[in-house]
Amino acid sequence: MESNKKESSRQKLAVITGADGGMGTEITRAVAQAGYRVIMASCRKQKAEAVRRTLLHDHRDLQIEVRKLDLASLASVAEFANILLEESYPITLLMNCAGTMETGLHITEDGLERTVSVNYVGPYLLTRKLLPLMHAGSRVVNMVSCTYAIGHLDFPDFFTRGRRGGFWRIPIYSNTKLALTLFTIDLAERVRDRGIVVNAADPGIVSTDIITMHMWFDPLTDLLFRPFIRTPRQGADTAIRLLLDEDAGQRTGTFNVSGHAKPLSEKYTRHVQMQELWQRTEKIVEQWL
């Protein structure tokens, strides 16, 4: 039965951003081993190629390729997506896994705060541009975070500085995860009639470079939180289930933790800024659409 399942998905295409990171590598491994042709999208192409070689060393029959994608550049996102559109190969899975938590204020060529571009606007544009290649049964999974609960959207400062006031990396990161969560809920409704499912995965606190504060208290926080920190494989588990499990294909617009959907309050499912967020983001990316 398992071999038949793999064979049936042999030619299906999966696009995974941040595929060279800890969780991205685990997601790439699981999806490729399920028989999908995987495009590893990464701004660190050399590192991604090294990850690809490692994965192929253990399973030489995996179909994995690496392509350059810089989510801090909307031009790069558009170029990446346009090539796929020209190839016209149907996309079954899109995993928006890439993420960053900047240590200082960095403004991109598009005038966006870099965390906002990588964590939200870049994935938004990529998903919007690739929707024409998706079909009934296609799945979009966005890697969010429990920090969405402390996020706030201060317009227009959210896009240009991450937050109102001075730079503070954790609130800005949280703001981007709130935006990505709202995008998940909103998009799910917009494509429901097409049979495309869109869900969010919360990995928990995972042992990756992104949680390092580069501050004097790092050893202390590591000691306090280490028992609660998950491995990249554990953190990737919910996203993998949303991508591959049959039952996960039956729900859309959900927030998922530890492999299960977690109900969100109307504060989020009917967020007062959801439509404004969509409209403002559309304005930013319209030239690329």
| pLDDT for res 234 | 86
Q: Which residue has the tokens 């998009």?
A: 187
Q: Residue 245 in contact with residue 238, Cβ under 8 Å?
A: no
| pLDDT for res 212 | 47
DSSP SS3 for 147: helix
| pLDDT for res 8 | 45
Q: Residue 174 in contact with residue 150, Cβ under 8 Å?
A: yes
DSSP SS3 for 34: coil
User: How far is residue 98 from each of residues 16, 188, 225, measured CA to CA in Å?
Assistant: 8, 20, 23
Amino acid type, 166: G
| pLDDT for res 71 | 98
| pLDDT for res 58 | 82
| pLDDT for res 82 | 98
Tokens of 156: 């227009």
Please confirm, yes or no, whether 173 is among the known catalytic residues: yes
What does the alpha-carbon distance between residue 260 and residue 256 come to, in Å, rounded to a whole number?
5
Chain-centre distance for alpha carbon 171: 19
| pLDDT for res 6 | 44
Backbone angles phi, psi at 42, to 5 degrees: -150, 145
| CATH class as words, domain 2-288 | alpha beta
User: How far is residue 104 from each of residues 42, 72, 162, 243, measured CA to CA in Å?
Assistant: 22, 15, 11, 33
Q: Residue 261 in contact with residue 249, Cβ under 8 Å?
A: no
- The pTM for the full model equals 0.90
* pLDDT digits 0-9 by tens, 162-190: 999 999 999 999 999 999 999 999 999 99
| pLDDT for res 228 | 55
Q: How far apart are the first and last CA of the chain?
A: 42
The active-site residue, picked from 36, 124, 148, 173, is 173
Q: Residue 130 in contact with residue 91, Cβ under 8 Å?
A: yes
What does the alpha-carbon distance between residue 148 and residue 49 come to, in Å, rounded to a whole number?
32
Q: Residue 238 in contact with residue 261, Cβ under 8 Å?
A: no
Please tell me whether the peptide bond between 227 and the residue prior to it is cis, using omega within 30 degrees of 0.
Answer: no
Q: Which residue has the tokens 């939200």?
A: 120
pLDDT tens digit at each of 289 positions of the chain: 444 444 444 479 999 999 998 999 999 999 999 999 999 999 999 999 999 999 999 889 999 999 999 999 999 999 999 999 999 999 999 999 999 999 999 999 999 999 999 999 999 999 999 999 999 999 999 999 999 999 999 999 999 999 999 999 999 999 999 999 999 999 999 999 999 999 999 997 755 554 444 444 445 555 445 555 658 778 899 999 999 999 999 999 999 999 999 999 999 999 999 999 999 999 999 999 9
What does the alpha-carbon distance between residue 175 and residue 38 come to, in Å, rounded to a whole number?
30
What does the alpha-carbon distance between residue 98 and residue 252 come to, in Å, rounded to a whole number?
21
| pLDDT for res 235 | 83
Query: Is the four-CA dihedral 12, 243, 141, 135 of positive or negative sign?
Result: positive
| pLDDT for res 41 | 98
